[in-house]
Structure 1
Amino acid sequence: MAQFLYYLILKPLSLLPLGVLHKLSDFLAFLMYRVVPYRQKVIRENLRNSFPEKTDEEIEVLVKRYIAHLCDLIVESISLFSMSQKELQKRVRVINPEEMNQFYDQGKNVILTFGHYNNWEMSAAAFNAQLKHQIVGLYTPLKNKFFEKKFKESRGKSGSKAIPKMEVKAFMRTYIKKKRPFALTFGTDQSPTYSKKVYWTKFLSQDTAVMFGTEKYARELNAPVIFGEIRKVKRGYYDIFFEVLVEDPSMEPHCAITEKHTRRLEKQIIEEPAYWLWSHKRWKRKVTRDYPDGVIPEPELQV
């Protein structure tokens, strides 16, 4: 079934010009908003809780704009199966690579944080070719081995590496021995699996569990933490701006790094809400009595 879906539907669609696929996106958006509503209860609830000051009319505008954006993400991700490296580099540009490259020149690994904002898939596939560091993304392997292979090929177009979470330690040891600086990337807005292994904070007006992995690895590697802001220039075109959040993790109080990257992502979402992943059940984890003050124990660092 997976091969059927890929070779008879996804692959042929990916060969179409992106402008044609965007027309398909318009039709999908109409269907998902008007005909077969897609997760609109979740989307509206997330938006209302995040922006209690907005009117029902303002929320509805955001719902419609978000669904249109989501449909663009779908067709643009399909296009990656056949998009050439040349076209990909035209559509996604790193505007200030020197913010990261300075640390490569110093022989330092970096921690790169992103949110599921704008087209993170296209950005992840593009920016390795525009930077000096080896880009490494952590991910949870798909159950379907065929699509696992195809998605890894799509995301690795420019040489970035997708590493299963359980293999990251082995990968880091190998690259540290080679003395080749790498950039370990984290999508910091995912909902954690285990509530006890998180940092609790206010995010978009709500009690939110934030994964602690970004801070943990920043301290283990003594690596600067950089935020990647993906901005939509126009339909199908994106710019990436890097901002150094922390230069020396050893100088930061416990949990300060997690607060910094969470606040930076929140700022981006508030400025333009429609481009974040609102159909995701981000707040399914609730505060427990284990850490009511939002503080987790000091982690054991392994250098």
Structure 2
Amino acid sequence: MAAFFYYFFLLPVSYLPMFILYRFSDFLYLVIRFVYPYRKKVVLENLRNSFPEKSEKEIQRIAHQFYRHFCDLIIESIALFSMSKKQVLKRFKAKDTAAIERLYDQGKSVIITSGHYNNWEMAAVAMNPQIRHQVDGVYTPLSNKFLNRVFKASREKFGAHLRPKSDCKNMFETHQNQLVATGFGTDQCPVRHVKKTYWTKFLNQETPVMFGTEKYAKQYDYGVVFLRIEKIKRGYYQFEFDLVEDKPQDAPYGKITERHVRLLEKQILSAPQYWLWTHKRWKLKPEMMEHNNHKSA
């Protein structure tokens, strides 16, 4: 069934011109916003808790803008199945790569931190041709093996390498003689049994943050940069890097984690409609975690 869905729907649809695909997006918006609301309760609760100072009218306006953008993300992700390298690089351009280029010149591999902000799927595809480091990504495999294979192939088609998160430690061990840029999505909610979780205030809420970025940066002496993606107009993005830490082994505990969290928070506050508000980011509370002794100051 998954193969049928891919070959007879997803792939043919991906070849349609973008102006037609965006009409599908407009229709999809009406469906998931008004007919069969998609995670409406989660979206509104997240927004209200994150912006207690905003009126209900403002909250609804952000929700409206978010659902518009979310539908575009779905359509753009489908288009990536058949989008050429030239088309991708036209739609997702480097604005400023100086921070990561300096680390390359110093002979340092890097960890790229980012969140589910703007079009992270296009970033996974477009990044490798535009920086000198070899791009590696950590991902959670889909339960359907066929769909996992085709989505992975789509993301890797311009040279990036993806590894399942269960193979994360092996990935760092095997890349000690190669300059790589390993991408971590750092705004996902940790699982209860995670051994190292860092708690901090994020968008007005006590929030658990996975500690892997700081842990691996210190262990393997990787520089850390934050990937900032900006939406220029519908279907077009640009990206740049902010330096988080270039001497991780000298950084005090929590500095790296606090820094990348604050950079993501700043970006969300500037244009909240582009973050993934459907995600149940705050489903865990400190008392629910098995290991919760890592706190921000």
**What's the TM-score once normalised by structure 2's chain length?**
0.95
- Shift in CA distance, 13/292, structure 1 to aligned 2, threshold 3 Å: closer
Pick aligned residue for 2:182 from 181, 184, 200: 184
Q: 1:92 is aligned with what amino acid?
A: F
Partner of 1:19: 19
CA distance in 2, matches of 1:121, 1:284: 24
**1:203, CA displacement in angstroms?**
0.3
CA distance in 1, matches of 2:162, 2:122: 14
Please give the secondary structure, in 2, of the residue aligned with 1:3. helix
- The gaps in structure 2 that reach 5 residues or longer are none
- Shift in CA distance, 98/270, structure 1 to aligned 2, threshold 3 Å: same
Are residues 1:247 and 2:246 paired? Answer: yes
CA distance in 2, matches of 1:46, 1:288: 20
**1:261, CA displacement in angstroms?**
0.6
Q: 2:161 is aligned with what amino acid?
A: K
- Is the 8 Å Cα contact of residues 22 and 72 (structure 1) preserved in structure 2? yes
Q: Where does 1:289-300 land on structure 2 (aligned, <5 Å)?
A: 294-295=294-295
Partner of 2:232: 233
Partner of 2:205: 206
C-alpha RMSD over aligned residues: 1.5
**1:291, CA displacement in angstroms?**
6.7
- Shift in CA distance, 292/16, structure 1 to aligned 2, threshold 3 Å: closer
**1:166, CA displacement in angstroms?**
2.1
Q: 1:183 is aligned with what amino acid?
A: A
Partner of 1:162: 162
- Is the 8 Å Cα contact of residues 69 and 274 (structure 2) preserved in structure 1? yes
Partner of 1:262: 261
CA distance in 2, matches of 1:37, 1:252: 45
CA distance in 2, matches of 1:174, 1:294: 29
Please give the secondary structure, in 1, of the residue aligned with 2:277. coil
- Is the 8 Å Cα contact of residues 201 and 294 (structure 1) preserved in structure 2? no
Are residues 1:96 and 2:93 paired? Answer: no
**1:116, CA displacement in angstroms?**
0.3
Please give the secondary structure, in 2, of the residue aligned with 1:125. helix
CA distance in 2, matches of 1:269, 1:45: 16
CA distance in 2, matches of 1:235, 1:295: 39
Q: 2:165 is aligned with what amino acid?
A: K
Q: 1:188 is aligned with what amino acid?
A: T
CA distance in 2, matches of 1:35, 1:44: 17
CA distance in 2, matches of 1:293, 1:55: 35
CA distance in 1, matches of 2:204, 2:45: 13
Flag as ranges the 4+ runs of structure 1 deviating above 3 A: 289-294
Q: 1:25 is aligned with what amino acid?
A: S
**1:17, CA displacement in angstroms?**
1.1
Q: 2:244 is aligned with what amino acid?
A: L
Q: Greater shift after overlay, 128-137 or 28-37?
A: 28-37
Q: Greater shift after overlay, 11-20 or 165-174?
A: 165-174
Please give the secondary structure, in 1, of the residue aligned with 2:47. helix
**What's the TM-score once normalised by structure 1's chain length?**
0.93
Q: 1:173 is aligned with what amino acid?
A: E
Please give the secondary structure, in 1, of the residue aligned with 2:62. helix
* Number of residues of Structure 1 aligned to a counterpart in Structure 2: 294
**1:293, CA displacement in angstroms?**
6.7
Partner of 1:56: 56
CA distance in 2, matches of 1:212, 1:294: 9
Partner of 2:116: 116
CA distance in 2, matches of 1:206, 1:291: 19
Aligned residues with identical type, % of pairs = 50
Q: Where does 1:118-137 land on structure 2 (aligned, <5 Å)?
A: 118-137=118-137
Please give the secondary structure, in 1, of the residue aligned with 2:287. coil
- The gaps in structure 1 that reach 5 residues or longer are 297-303
Are residues 1:288 and 2:290 paired? Answer: no
Please give the secondary structure, in 1, of the residue aligned with 2:61. helix
**1:105, CA displacement in angstroms?**
2.0
Q: Deviations over 1:94-121 (max 9, x none)?
A: 1112321221122111111001000000
Q: 1:238 is aligned with what amino acid?
A: Y
- Is the 8 Å Cα contact of residues 197 and 292 (structure 2) preserved in structure 1? no
Please give the secondary structure, in 2, of the residue aligned with 1:189. coil
CA distance in 2, matches of 1:134, 1:98: 16
Partner of 2:223: 224
